[in-house]
Amino acid sequence: MRIDIISVVPELMESAFNHSILKRAINKNLVQVNLINLRNYATDKHKSVDDYAFGGGAGMVLMIEPIAACINDLKSKNTYDEVIYMSPDGELLTQKLSNQLSLLQNFIILCGHYKGVDERVRQHLITKEISIGDYVLSGGELAAAVLSDSVIRLLPGVLNDETSALSDSFQDGLIAPPVYTRPAEFNGYKVPDILLSGHTANIEKWRHEQSLLRTKERRPNLNQ
Ligand code: SAH
């Protein structure tokens, strides 16, 4: 998989891809992540990528010219399944959507900034718009990192234990059961006896029951 992320502040995402599971995935060549600075595609001598909104009002808008130049350049070298724009009014990111995206080969993520991007970018250059929740961020960078993380960890070979992602919340329409580690007792707070019993079948049964209970309590509408 190859993910090309276009942004005016790519540095904001560097740390997300330089540690832990994502770093390992990149080092193992399971995914290639390219952070692209939109300023490299500015078409005027001042290297501008944004301008005032037509009609007035506060906030700058990312211009279509550098974005089009950047996307065209990428497309001249690679084929892409999707050109995604991170947007608060896009399709809400869910595990189901992450699963779908994990089957793609290559995609571009465009991060907006300031007031967003010229609407013509969204109309003509973008194939999918994704939101990470009903709140507004300063830019699409953190959202792009969230989206990429949720997709990359699903790629075969990224997680050490191949079945690990399958037992996470949402994957099977259920919330994950509680987990515990040493010590078995802390300040009188005990780990449920069943988990210390060594009886695998009973433990699996208990975990499933806990999942059902949690889903009912916390996400009763999960499967609707
Ligand atoms: N004026 C826009 C918000 C712009 S926020 C509006 O009211 O809808 C600046 C940029 O941050 C956006 O262009 C988008 O790329 C990103 N962004 C903000 N909130 C986001 C969210 N919840 N999900 C995904 N991207 C978001």
Quick: pLDDT tens for 4-17.
999 999 999 999 99
- CB-CB neighbours of 26 under 10 Å: 16
Q: What DSSP character marks residue 222?
A: T
Report d(CA 192, CA 185) in Å as an integer.
10
Q: What DSSP character marks residue 139?
A: B
What per-residue confidence (pLDDT) applies to 7?
A: 98
Per-residue pLDDT tens for 105-122?
999 999 999 999 999 999
Report d(CA 223, CA 174) in Å as an integer.
8
Q: Which atom number of ligand 1 is nearest to the Cα of residue 132?
A: 23
Per-residue pLDDT tens for 24-63?
999 999 999 999 999 999 988 899 999 999 999 999 999 9
Residue 137 CB–ligand 1 contact under 6 Å? yes
C-beta separation of 132 from 97 below 8 A: no
For 202-211, what is the mean pLDDT?
98
Report the percentage of the chain scoring pLDDT > 90. 91
Report d(CA 194, CA 59) in Å as an integer.
57
Residue 185: both structure tokens together: 């007792």
Per-residue pLDDT tens for 183-198?
999 999 999 999 999 9
Is the pLDDT at 224 greater than 80? The verdict is: no
Picking from 31, 160, 10, 14, the residue whose alpha carbon sits closest to that of residue 104 is 31
What per-residue confidence (pLDDT) applies to 158?
A: 95
Q: Tell me the best of 87, 117, 129 to mutate to test the pocket of ligand 1, counting ligand atoms within 8 Å of each CB and taking the most.
A: 87
pLDDT interval class at 93 (50, 70, 90): very high
Q: Tell me the best of 114, 136, 142 to mutate to test the pocket of ligand 1, counting ligand atoms within 8 Å of each CB and taking the most.
A: 136
Give pTM, 2 decimals. Answer: 0.96
Domains in the chain, start-ordered, CATH in brackets? 2-152 (3.40.1280.10), 169-223 (1.10.1270.20)
Residue 36 main-chain phi, psi, to 5 deg: -115, 130
Report d(CA 149, CA 19) in Å as an integer.
11
What per-residue confidence (pLDDT) applies to 43?
A: 85
Q: Which helix (H) or strand (E) holds 96?
A: helix 95-101
Does 97 or 166 have the greater pLDDT score? 97
What per-residue confidence (pLDDT) applies to 10?
A: 98
Report d(CA 132, CA 87) in Å as an integer.
8
Report d(CA 188, CA 30) in Å as an integer.
44
For 165-179, what is the mean pLDDT?
90
Q: Are strands 185-186 and 189-190 parallel, antiparallel or unpaired?
A: antiparallel
What per-residue confidence (pLDDT) applies to 162?
A: 62
Give the closest residue (by CA) to ligand 1 atom 22. Answer: 88
The angle subtended at Cα 84 by Cα 64 and Cα 32, nearest 5°, is 110
What per-residue confidence (pLDDT) applies to 160?
A: 84
Amino acid at 18: N
For 214-218, what is the mean pLDDT?
97
Three-state DSSP class for 88?
strand
